[in-house]
Structure 1
Amino acid sequence: MSEQQIIAVVGATGAQGGGLVRAILADQSGRFAARALTRDPGSARAEELAALGAEVVEADLDDAAGLREAFKGAHGVFVVTNFWEPRTHEEEQARPATTRELEQAGNAARAGRDAGVRHFIWSTLPDTRGYFRPGDGTPTFGGTYKVPHADGKAEADRLFLESGVPTTFLQANVYYEAFQDMFAPQRDERGALVLHLGFGDARVPAQAAEDIGRTAFGVFRRGEVLAGRRVSVAGSVLTGDQYAAALGQALGEAVTYQPVGPDQIRAAGFPGAGEVGNMLQYLITAEQDIVDLIDGELLRELNPRLQSFDTWLATHRNTIPH
């Protein structure tokens, strides 16, 4: 058998990276070897990946020299940053999450270039700013951002292009797993199940977390032919009413969709309400562009096990609070 090609996976103990590592290790062809990068090789998740056969290597996106070493000999590198990593108020003031993501993405892009990596997959998101009108009253963050966790990643796209390393831009949508907590249906005063979501009447794509990693694996298998391509992962594209109907079918009890407007979300006052409201407004305003980006045929080729929402619910119905 020819020598295995190493795929270095940043964030290997997270949802996206972990899914990719497991997909590599489950592949019977043995074409690739998984190098799982983590800041804490002694964590339970890291040790679990090592037991499955991954090479676990300590690496930190803030350590450019360490990244170059971790990327040496790798054919491909999967890069994801964590905007939502818990941080103190002082840390956020000193180095905003968007600044941190840009710096980390730059470190990874340059390290891959210097290490001779042949293929990047960068886990990115869309730039939402073109979908907001100047003076429309929506809040702006960090001077320019409307949805910082998306817009910052979109800005980082250019860093991978500038590296000269062939890069595929992988884009996740709403997670099915959100219906296990913040999107879970709630009981109203009559005891009926209600799905309160800010999707309006828009069709909103979603996918299982593990399908992001499986799709990334499919991209590495396909190779550099997908360089420069933006691959948007979605197992289902449904309206709020359709998500409610699917939940009702799985739970054996009717679920009614009650849309919540972006303005209501922004006025709710919880931490991050402004950004969440803006994100939902983007999903509604940009609906057609978001849906048009999804290539269902390509996704099924890259990930034959891609799960629809109904399929996912069939095995996760007991995890939906109701």
Structure 2
Amino acid sequence: MKTRTLAVVGATGSQGGGLVEAVRSNADSPFQVRALTRNRQSPQAQALAAGGTDVVEADLDDLDSMRRAFDGADAAFVVTDYWARRTPEDEASRTRAEMELAQAENAALAAKSAGVGHVIWSTLEDTRDHFGDDERVPTVEGRYKVPHFDAKAEADSRFVENDVPTTFLRTTMFFEGFAGAMGPMRDERGNLVLALPIADELLSTIAVADIGKTAVAIFVRGHEFIGQTVSIAGDHLTGEQYASALSEAKGEAVAYRPMSWDDFRAQDFPGAVEMGNMFQYYAENSASFVGARDLTSVRKLNPQLQSFRQWLTLHAADIRA
């Protein structure tokens, strides 16, 4: 079988890194990875290069570098990072949503110019289709409700308008979030509490590694997914069910205490309003969001798809509360 070149944007990040690992760990993979990174000298990039991966410097803000990086590639995985570190100058010159839109445009133009045969664009739903002009939900960055969802959804059109053969891969919140800011915390009495603002609704989540494994399967099957939207998750659980699974994994009771969306938005950290809006979307639109992510269908693409409990058996120690 002829080896095909797969260019991976964000190869040292979460989603891109998961895809690189999925290819590298599969001896039968038909792909050779070309890892794209803004800094070839970073420790993560150096580690990839030391393991035999072709590492190429490219920046989504630099169209010419993206064209060079995509040249000769048979396929490409494209992801943008709304939460990326930015310089004060960039913060002053454009919003984060404007950054994502411009970067997606560059990726689409570069893929078109290089003749890439299949692109997977990591995207999300447009929450404004649900919220509309709902004044209960603050507008962010001028015209968005959840910019890191809405801008990616807007960017879908950049690939369509440029006639790029694209699969639109809709992801969701990562299991890894429970090992960070979304995980259980200790209250004033020292008890573990999970304070997800999702009321009593189901929340879809997935392991980052499974995004990469599913993307590889889509690339392998190729043309049947071009022009299609594929929505994925690894589990659908309520707050109570997440708390129960965490209790078992930690060997200590974790209580679920849902926070209101307004209380979440009122917290004093960057992105609190954006994230509060996101959780309100997850909860209010749960039936549609969860319904689009059929676990049986995802498992057909990725038979190794992990449930939250399966992920916890390997990562419980990462949850340090």
How far apart are residue 135 of structure 1 and its match? 4.8
- Relative to structure 1, the CA distance from residue 285 to residue 72 in structure 2 (aligned partners, 3 Å threshold; closer, same or farther) is same
Letter in 2 for 1:142: E
2:196 aligns with: 197
1:261 aligns with: 260
Letter in 2 for 1:18: G
Q: Distance in 1 between matches of 2:279 and 2:292?
A: 18
- Is 1:48 aligned to 2:27, yes or no? no
Q: Residue 300 of structure 1 contacts residue 306 of structure 1 at CA under 8 Å; is this kept in 2?
A: yes
Q: Distance in 1 between matches of 2:176 and 2:118?
A: 29
Residues 147-183 of structure 1 deviation map (CA, whole Å, 9 limit, x = unaligned) = 0111011100001111212211112211111111212
How far apart are residue 299 of structure 1 and its match? 1.3
1:244 aligns with: 243
Q: Distance in 1 between matches of 2:112 and 2:132?
A: 38
Letter in 2 for 1:71: F
SS at match of 1:294: coil
Residues 72-109 of structure 1 deviation map (CA, whole Å, 9 limit, x = unaligned) = 11110100111111124442221111111111111110
Q: Residue 25 of structure 1 contacts residue 53 of structure 1 at CA under 8 Å; is this kept in 2?
A: no
SS at match of 1:169: strand
2:228 aligns with: 229
SS at match of 2:144: coil
Q: Residue 207 of structure 1 contacts residue 309 of structure 1 at CA under 8 Å; is this kept in 2?
A: yes
Q: Residue 123 of structure 1 contacts residue 170 of structure 1 at CA under 8 Å; is this kept in 2?
A: yes
1:108 aligns with: 107
How far apart are residue 117 of structure 1 and its match? 0.6
Q: Distance in 2 between matches of 1:313 and 1:25?
A: 23
2:208 aligns with: 209
How far apart are residue 301 of structure 1 and its match? 2.1
Q: Distance in 2 between matches of 1:263 and 1:220?
A: 41
SS at match of 2:195: strand
SS at match of 1:74: coil
Q: Residue 125 of structure 2 contacts residue 153 of structure 2 at CA under 8 Å; is this kept in 1?
A: yes
2:9 aligns with: 10
Residues 282-305 of structure 1 deviation map (CA, whole Å, 9 limit, x = unaligned) = 011110110111132231122121
- Relative to structure 1, the CA distance from residue 133 to residue 104 in structure 2 (aligned partners, 3 Å threshold; closer, same or farther) is closer
Matches within 5 A, 1:126-145: 126-145=125-144
Q: Which runs of 4+ in 1 moved over 3 A?
A: none
Q: Distance in 1 between matches of 2:230 and 2:259?
A: 29
Structure 1, unaligned runs of 5 or more? none
How far apart are residue 134 of structure 1 and its match? 2.5
Matches within 5 A, 1:24-173: 24-173=23-172
TM-score when normalising by structure 2? 0.96
Residues 102-135 of structure 1 deviation map (CA, whole Å, 9 limit, x = unaligned) = 1111111011111111100001111001222535
- Relative to structure 1, the CA distance from residue 139 to residue 30 in structure 2 (aligned partners, 3 Å threshold; closer, same or farther) is closer
Q: Distance in 2 between matches of 1:117 and 1:44?
A: 29
Q: Residue 200 of structure 1 contacts residue 240 of structure 1 at CA under 8 Å; is this kept in 2?
A: yes
How far apart are residue 41 of structure 1 and its match? 1.1
Paired-residue identity, %: 50
Residues 212-253 of structure 1 deviation map (CA, whole Å, 9 limit, x = unaligned) = 111111111111211122222211100000000000011112
Q: Distance in 2 between matches of 1:89 and 1:289?
A: 38
Matches within 5 A, 1:296-315: 296-315=295-314
TM-score when normalising by structure 1? 0.96
Q: Distance in 1 between matches of 2:128 and 2:234?
A: 26
Q: Superposition RMSD on alpha carbons, in Å?
A: 1.4
Q: Distance in 1 between matches of 2:126 and 2:54?
A: 35
Q: Distance in 2 between matches of 1:231 and 1:259?
A: 30
Q: Residue 235 of structure 2 contacts residue 295 of structure 2 at CA under 8 Å; is this kept in 1?
A: no
SS at match of 1:50: helix
Q: Which moved more, 1:300-309 or 1:77-86?
A: 300-309
Q: Residue 60 of structure 2 contacts residue 103 of structure 2 at CA under 8 Å; is this kept in 1?
A: yes
How far apart are residue 144 of structure 1 and its match? 1.0
Q: Distance in 2 between matches of 1:271 and 1:91?
A: 16
Residues 256-311 of structure 1 deviation map (CA, whole Å, 9 limit, x = unaligned) = 10000111112224322211111111011110110111132231122121111000
